[in-house]
């Protein structure tokens, strides 16, 4: 598929997997709006990488769980970059605690960003994406790997997985595909935070390739779903190097 003259929005696009996705879409010829929560410096750096890839880029601050600020961000994208073709909701937070020790305030934070944020972004995307476009959300391979301490995070992503096939059916008559990508352990700041090298090595060993994924590994899949992968719809697609 020729993805030139297309416009994409990537939430959580200032760092990690979201940033790699934004740059990869730009390399495919799509103009990209990076929606970020708080780190303006990183968002501006991401825009610099988008422009270096030959596309137009802008950075917009918004809370994905707030429908007014997300609607405003979508308005700005349409005004500055044009009609929206692709929305990738990569924004998310993760706090690890055993269920017996779970801080319910942390659970509420994750529910707000990971579940409500996905619904708010999906709702706006469903109203705006042009025919032939795509919506890509993020789940996690932990919903299948069942790693200790990931209970709250996996539960929020289970809700995302429930949303995807329903939204795909609702969007089918507009020729818009809806999928979620479920990365395995990936080398990002979010993953490394609070983990010892021993734990990192053990988790990397879950894959027969004996390594962590990279943000670029995941970005390749997102770019396919957001471009030529038109017959993949309503799916949760795992990108984890065979981790089990």
Measured distance CA(62)–CA(47) in Å, rounded:
16
Class of 6-239 in CATH: alpha beta
Quickly state the pLDDT bin for 191 (edges 50, 70, 90): confident
Check if the beta carbon of residue 136 is closer than 8 Å to that of residue 226. Answer: yes
% residues pLDDT > 90 (the chain): 95
pLDDT of 35 > 70? The answer is yes
Which stretches does DSSP call E strand in 12-156? 30-36, 57-61, 86-89, 134-138
Judged against a pLDDT cut of 90, whether residue 126 lies above it is answered with yes
In sequence order, the β-bridge partners of residue 138 are: 181
Q: Are 175 and 131 in contact (CB under 8 A)?
A: yes
Average pLDDT over residues 3-24: 93
Tell me which of 128 and 1 has the higher pLDDT: 128
- Among the ranges given (18-32, 109-123, 182-196), the one the predictor scored with the smallest mean pLDDT: 182-196
57-61 and 86-89: which strand pairing?
Answer: unpaired
pTM value?
0.96
Q: What is the DSSP letter of 101?
A: G
- The Cα–Cα gap between 11 and 86 comes to 11
Known catalytic residues are 153
- Note the pLDDT tens digit of each residue in 148-159: 999 999 999 999
pLDDT range class, residue 49, cuts 50, 70, 90: very high
pLDDT value at residue 189? 86
Return all residues near 199 (Cβ < 8 A) that are at least 6 apart. Answer: none
State the pLDDT at residue 195.
Answer: 87
CA distances from 37 to 1, 12, 26, 102 (A): 31, 7, 21, 25
């Amino acid at each position: 598929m020729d993805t030139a003259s297309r416009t994409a929005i990537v939430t959580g696009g200032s760092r990690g997997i979201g940033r790699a996705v934004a740059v990869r879409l730009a390399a495919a010829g799509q103009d990209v709006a990076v929606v970020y929560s708080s780190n303006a410096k990183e968002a501006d750096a991401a825009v610099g990488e988008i422009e270096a890839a030959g596309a137009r880029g802008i950075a917009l601050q918004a809370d994905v769980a707030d429908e007014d600020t997300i609607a405003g961000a979508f308005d700005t994208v349409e005004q500055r970059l044009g009609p929206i073709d692709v929305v990738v909701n990569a924004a998310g937070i993760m706090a690890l605690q055993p269920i017996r020790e779970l801080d319910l305030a942390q659970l509420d934070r994750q529910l707000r960003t990971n579940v409500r944020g996905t619904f708010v972004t999906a709702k706006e995307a469903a109203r705006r994406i042009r025919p032939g476009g795509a919506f890509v959300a993020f789940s996690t391979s932990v919903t299948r790997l069942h790693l200790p301490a990931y209970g709250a995070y996996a539960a929020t992503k289970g809700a995302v997985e429930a949303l995807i096939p329903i939204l795909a059916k609702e969007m089918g008559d507009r020729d818009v595909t809806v999928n979620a990508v479920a990365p395995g352990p990936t080398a990002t700041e979010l993953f490394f935070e609070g983990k010892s090298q021993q734990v990192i090595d053990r988790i990397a060993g879950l894959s027969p390739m004996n390594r962590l994924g990279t943000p670029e590994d995941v970005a390749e899949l997102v770019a396919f779903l957001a471009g030529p992968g038109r017959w993949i719809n309503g799916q949760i697609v795992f990108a984890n190097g065979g981790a089990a």
